[in-house]
Amino acid sequence: MQPTSQDLQIGKTFRPVVLGADVLGYSYTRQFHETYGVDSIVLAKYDIKFTSRSKWNDYRCVDGVEREEELLAYLKETIAPECRAEGRKPLLVASGDWYAEILSKNKSELTAAGFAVPYNDYSLFSVITMKEKFYGLCSELGIPYPKTWLVACGEGLDPIPGIDVISDEVIDGHEYPMIVKPANSAEWHYAEFEGKRKIHTVNSPAELRKLISDVKGTSYSKYLLVQECLAVRDDSLHSVTVFCEHGEMTLGRVGHVLVQDRSAKGIGNPLVILGEDRPDLLDFAARFCKKVGYEGYGNFDVMDGADGKPRFLEINARPGRNTYYMTLAGVPFVKPIVEKFVCGNDIRQSLTSAERACDRPFLFCVPPYDIVRKEVTDPVLKQGVEESIKAGVAKSPLLNSEDSLAQRLYARLNRVNFHSKF
C-alpha cells in the first residue's frame, strides 16, 4: 500500500528512531516507510541482518546502547542535533522492555531535548510492569490471574496485598511443575547466571530452591514470581493488543497464539498468531487500562488454565513483539503512534472506521508453513491455519518483496533456521 499525499507530508515532519533490531524493530522500519514514506534510524547492539540490510533505515551498532547513561548521551548529543538539522522531530520507539523502561524513566528529559516519547510516565510504567503489582490490580478489578507467590531477591520490597511470600510449606507441598519468572523483565535482562531463561519450569522443590539461590546471586533485586503451571500447550496463550487515549480503549485486537519460540532466550515469544474474536478479553483489558489511565499501546499476555478459563499474566507497557498483527488486522500499527504523539490528533477522529474496527482475519506467521502444520494439532485451529494460508492472509513481517535483495535473503535464512528449533 502506497502512502497518501497527506501521510507523505506527515512523514517529512518526523524521524523514527528505533531501539533494537528484532522482529518488532524491523516491523517498525517497514511500517514507517510503508505508511509515511520515511526512513528510520535503528540503534542496536548487534548486527541483526534482516533489519540492518533493509534499504529503509540507517542502521547503527552503538557501543553501550543498552546502558542507560550511554544511550541517553547518544540520543541527546548525536540523534537530536541530526534531526534538528533535518527539521524533523525524532520519534523514539523501543523493541524491548529494557529500552521502553529507559525511555519512560527519562521521558521528561528526552521530551525537553525534542523527542516524541510514546510511553506512559514512569510513575505508572514502573507500577504496572512489576508483575506482582499488576496482579494486585487484577485482584482489585476482578480480572483473573494465576495463583502466585513471591520471592524477594532484594531488600525493602513493598508487600503486595493478596499475594503471599513463598514459604517452605509451599515449596515442599505444592504440586509440580511450577513456573518461575521475574517480576521485572527489564532488570532481568541484565541478570547473568548459568541456565538463565525468560521463563523457568521447575519440577521439584530442590530445583526451585537452587533457582532461587542462583537468582539471588545476580544483580536482580526485585521479586521472583512462583506460579501454578497452567498449561503446556502453545495454543493456551492469547495476545491482547490495545491502544488507549486517556484510559479509554480506542483500538483492540486479540490473537490466539498457536506456536511459541523454543529457544532458551526466546522461549515464550509467540511465532504464530491467529486472529480471534474474544470480547471478554478485550473487556478485561479495557477495565485495567481505564483504572490506571493508560496511554498508547499496551499488550497483555493471557493463558488458559486447565478449566479453560483465561488468566492474565502480564502487561507489556509498549507495543508487543508481534504488534505487526495489528497491521494485518486492518490498521497500520504505527499510525496511532504518529497521529497521537507526533501530530497530537484524537485517534478516534484521525483513523478511518475500518482502521478503528481492526477486524480483518489474519495469521501472523514467522516460521515456515510446514512447521506450523506440524505443531498445530487442534482440528479447529488447524483449519483456521489452512484457511488463512489459502486466503493469502498468512504473513510474516520480515518477508517483504519491496525491500532490498540482501534483506530478503537474510529474512529467508532466518525463516529456514526455525527448522533447527523444532
Output the nine-digit C-alpha cell for 315.
502487561
CA distance 352 to 87: 29
Residue 168 has pLDDT above 80, yes or no: no
188-218 pLDDT, tens digit each: 988 999 999 888 999 999 999 999 999 999 9
The separation between CA 297 and the C-alpha centre of its own chain, rounded to angstroms, equals: 10
Please report the pLDDT score of residue 400 as a whole number: 97
| DSSP symbols for 150-207 | EEE-SSSPPP-TT-EEP-HHHHHHSPSPEEEEES-HHHHTT---TT--SSEEE-SHHH
Alpha-carbon distance of 66 to 60, in angstroms, equals 13
| Higher-pLDDT residue of 307, 375 | 375
Report how far Cα 14 is from the mean position of its chain's Cα atoms. 23
Coil, helix or strand for 53?
Answer: coil
Helix (H, G, I), strand (E, B) or coil at 419: helix
CB 267 within 8 A of CB 381: no
Which residues make Cβ contacts (< 8 Å) with residue 357, sequence separation at least 6? 330
Q: Rounded mean pLDDT of 99-118?
A: 97
Contact 134, 147 (CB under 8 A): no
Q: CA torsion sign, 219 to 315 to 127 to 309?
A: negative
Beta bridge partners of 242: 252, 298
Compare 185 and 139 and report the one with higher pLDDT.
139
Q: What DSSP designation does 3 have? A: P
> pLDDT at position 205, please?
92
At 275 the three-state DSSP class reads: strand
pLDDT digits (tens, 9 = 90+) for 58-106: 999 999 998 999 999 999 999 999 999 999 999 999 998 889 999 999 9
User: What is the per-residue pLDDT for 161?
Assistant: 76
Q: What pLDDT score was predicted for residue 232?
A: 63
Summarised one tens digit per residue, pLDDT across range 207-257 is 999 999 999 999 999 999 998 888 667 789 999 999 999 999 999 999 999
Q: What is the CA radius of gyration of the chain?
A: 21
Q: Which of the two residues, 161 and 228, has the higher pLDDT score? A: 228
Mean of all residue pLDDT scores within the chain: 93
Please, what are the domains in the chain? 5-121 (3.40.50.20), 147-228 (3.30.1490), 234-420 (3.30.470.20)
- Residue pair 288/315 in contact (Cβ under 8 Å)? The answer is yes
Instruction: Return the C-alpha torsion angle 143, 179, 373, 391, nearest 10.
Output: 30
pLDDT digits (tens, 9 = 90+) for 338-393: 999 999 999 999 999 999 999 999 999 999 999 999 999 999 999 999 999 999 99
Q: 1 and 34 in contact (C-beta within 8 Å)?
A: yes
**Residue 263 reports pLDDT greater than 80:** no
What pLDDT, on the 0 to 100 scale, is given for residue 1? Answer: 66
In this prediction, residue 119 carries a pLDDT of 97
Torsion of CA 378, 382, 384, 386, to 10 degrees: 180
What single letter denotes the amino acid at residue 144? P
Is the Cβ–Cβ distance between 234 and 262 less than 8 Å? no
| Residues 241, 208: Cα–Cα separation, whole Å | 33
Q: Is the pLDDT of residue 261 over 70?
A: yes
* Span 6-46, pLDDT tens digits: 999 999 999 999 999 999 999 999 999 999 999 999 999 99
Q: How confident is the model at residue 3 (pLDDT cuts 50, 70, 90)?
A: confident
What pLDDT digit, counting tens, does each position of 120-132 carry?
999 999 999 988 8
The residue assigned the cell 548459568 is: 194
First to last CA, the chain: 34
> Which residues on adjacent β-strands are paired with residue 150?
165, 225
Of 151, 206, 208, give the one whose Cα is nearest residue 178. 208
Q: What sign for the dihedral angle of Cα 199, 236, 27, 382?
A: positive
Question: If you ran DSSP here, which 8-state letter would residue 397 be given?
Answer: T
Cell numbers placing 107:
521521558
With a cut of 80, say whether residue 262 has pLDDT above it: no
Q: Residue 103 — φ and ψ, nearest 5°?
A: -65, -40
